[in-house]
């Protein structure tokens, strides 16, 4: 089992609320990622980070924002949630360096915005 | 459009049979990885094959890669009910970004 954790596992909130999805890993990995996945569909990269104070937008445009103040922590924030944000959000991490290509995933947060 | 396309989208077999899933991609890759996802959970890495490799084995898993056809296949031999899950291929296009592009996945059901 990978040492990467996400909280909450499930979240149901009303439109307009601000939310933060937490992701932490204890493996000391430099690289971290956020993916969005709708049921039965592929994963879309929405944010990634190469290390502390490094964040980049992914291939899928997202209204969420991320921060990386500590190596182990990579939270994702939605300032004003909308029903279109309903999805599963998966956090992952990987090591840096040659041939360190495997990503380790957390269990995911399933978000429902009413 | 997505880098990876998988077929079939869904596969249902009996326990003990072999399951084969295919993945095609569009651009040059550094490596191709297969992941498994149990319903509503995170992904678990299964196997990685590099662009200069043609075949790789891990337990009951066999992966092939044909870079000329830009395709890969995952074979699960002697399937078990516990193999029921969704299987995704993911391509690493290089540049040391670590970014992966995932296919749409194959949902495998193994009936006991």
Cross-chain residue pair B42–A107, CB shorter than 8 Å: yes
What integer is the mean pLDDT of A59-88? 94
- Give the whole-angstrom CA distance, residue A21 versus residue A71: 16
Confidence bin at B98 (pLDDT 50/70/90): confident
**Residue B102 confidence (pLDDT):** 92
Confidence bin at B1 (pLDDT 50/70/90): very low
Question: Are B52 and B59 contacting, i.e. CB atoms less than 8 angstroms apart?
Answer: no
Interface test with A, best of B5, B39, B42, B101 (most A CBs within 10 A): B42
Question: Which residues are paired to B62 by β-bridges?
Answer: B57, B75
CA atoms within 13 A on the CB side of A19: 24
Q: What is the Cα Rg of chain A in Å?
A: 13
Residues in B closer than 8 angstroms to A42, CB to CB, are: 2, 4, 88, 102-105
pLDDT in tens, B44-91: 999 999 999 999 999 999 999 999 999 999 999 999 999 999 999 999
């Amino acid at each position: 089992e990978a040492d990467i954790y996400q909280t909450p596992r499930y979240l149901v909130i009303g439109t307009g609320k601000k939310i933060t999805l937490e992701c932490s890993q204890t493996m000391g990995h430099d690289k971290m990622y956020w993916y969005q996945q709708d049921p039965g569909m592929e994963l879309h990269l929405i944010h990634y980070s190469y290390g502390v104070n490094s964040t980049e937008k992914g291939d899928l445009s997202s209204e969420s924002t991320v921060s990386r103040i500590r190596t182990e922590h990579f939270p994702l924030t939605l300032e004003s949630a909308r029903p279109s944000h309903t999805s599963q959000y998966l956090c992952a991490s990987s090591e840096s360096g040659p041939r360190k290509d495997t990503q380790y995933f957390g269990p995911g947060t399933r978000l429902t915005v009413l | 459009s997505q880098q990876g396309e998988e077929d079939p989208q869904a596969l249902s077999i009996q326990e003990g049979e072999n399951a084969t899933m295919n993945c095609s991609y569009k651009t040059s890759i550094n490596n191709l990885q297969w992941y498994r996802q149990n319903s509503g959970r995170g992904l678990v890495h299964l196997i990685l094959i590099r662009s200069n490799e043609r075949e790789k084995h891990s337990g009951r898993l066999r992966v092939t890669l044909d870079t000329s056809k830009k395709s890969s296949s995952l074979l699960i031999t002697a399937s078990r009910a516990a193999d029921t899950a969704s299987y995704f291929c993911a391509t690493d296009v290089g540049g040391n970004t670590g970014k992966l592009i995932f296919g749409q996945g194959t949902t495998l059901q193994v009936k006991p």
